[in-house]
Structure 1
Amino acid sequence: MTSPDLRQYAPATQRNREPILNVLQQVLPPQGTVLEISSGTGEHAIFFAPHLHPRKWLPSDPNPSARASIAAWRQHCPTDNVYPPIALDARDPVWSVEQDELLEPLQGFEKGEIGAIANINMIHIAPWSACLGLMAGAARILPPDGVLYLYGPYKQNGKHTAPSNEAFDQSLRAQNPEWGVRDLDEVITVAQTQNLSLLKVVPMPANNLSVIFKRDE
């Protein structure tokens, strides 16, 4: 659903935003900027940011309509610690936050201020190459001890954690054979190849998980 002012709405956001915020408050660095990959509607950004001062929040999405929604939410719920949304595709070998000329609209932003990356409900609704790109980008951008936060459904030990997740996986693969609920062990293995160590896994409502990685020194 899209309102006349371009704001889009994702019903799941209303259900998961407070549990996610609770985890973020525990695991994020105490300052710096959180780069959100695949921000979608922008509802998470405008909800999290006021609770995360003095940290700043940088939303991004490869989809122009999503960026328009993020901008509309940012205008509707103004807060001084959310940057304007940027175009960023996790699969790109060089992200826009690594290119000075693409960051000129972000007044006051400096590349070195990103201390964490958040990625909510993307890996299963994207090709596996997006997960690979996400891990590679996190390895390039995060400082030592920087945090990568993931949220969504995962298989564990090669098995679905609930019948609802299995049905969801089947529906995703029916829409696009490249999509699907990922096996957590495979995600962790990819992260390890990029110098990212698993910090913790937190069970979340509706059979989802928060998965937190830390960039090694």
Structure 2
Amino acid sequence: MELLSVNVGRPRPNPWKDLRNTGIDKQPVDGPVAVHAPGPKGTGEVGLAGDRVFDVKNHGGADQAVYAYAREDLDDWAAQLGRPLHGGVFGENLTTAGLDVNGALIGERWRIGSDVVLEVSCPRIPCGTFQGWLERDGWIKQFTRAARPGAYLRVIEPGDLCAGDRIEIVHRPDHDVTVALVFRALTLEPDLLPRLLIADALPQEGKDLARRRSARDHG
């Protein structure tokens, strides 16, 4: 398992939301990139040096410090869309190879290179900026149906990342709640929400939603 590219955003105008800029335009960078745990959501901070988010209500913060997407899934989307997709084009910070990102368990930990440890937190939920960026009508629905959202990660141990770094899974929790399962529960299959309660590392918002659904189902 390998880190193919480390991708950092450059601000660009956002005509798809009521925001001045977006950081979705991520490009591969040469050399090491420092990774750190950001502040809480609302500041615009993320985990990679030189990167940030502008939709501070919905993105950034400790639970969404780093976003990873698999090269294998990008290649499949490239075939479906009929266009090449470079690393970072989905707004991901890390483009991986040989790693089942969507099958990763919530709370699973990855060591990347010699220093950095990241923890799987939650899936990415597509938005209007993502659809506009790809210039494809109906993209949100298409992406949602596929249930290959990629994973947001927390920074457990900071350090430097570089393209070519080895990725090692160093911890897998004792449950079956995957990134793809959480995504399905939060989008098209809300009946799955109570299953998420066993995933201690799920962000609080997801836990609260799962508890409300479970209480409703058993009320």
TM-score by length of 2: 0.31
TM-score by length of 1: 0.31
Q: By percentage of residues, which structure has more helix? A: 1
Relative contact order, CA 8 A, sep 6+: which one is greater? 2
Q: By percentage of residues, which structure has more strand? A: 2
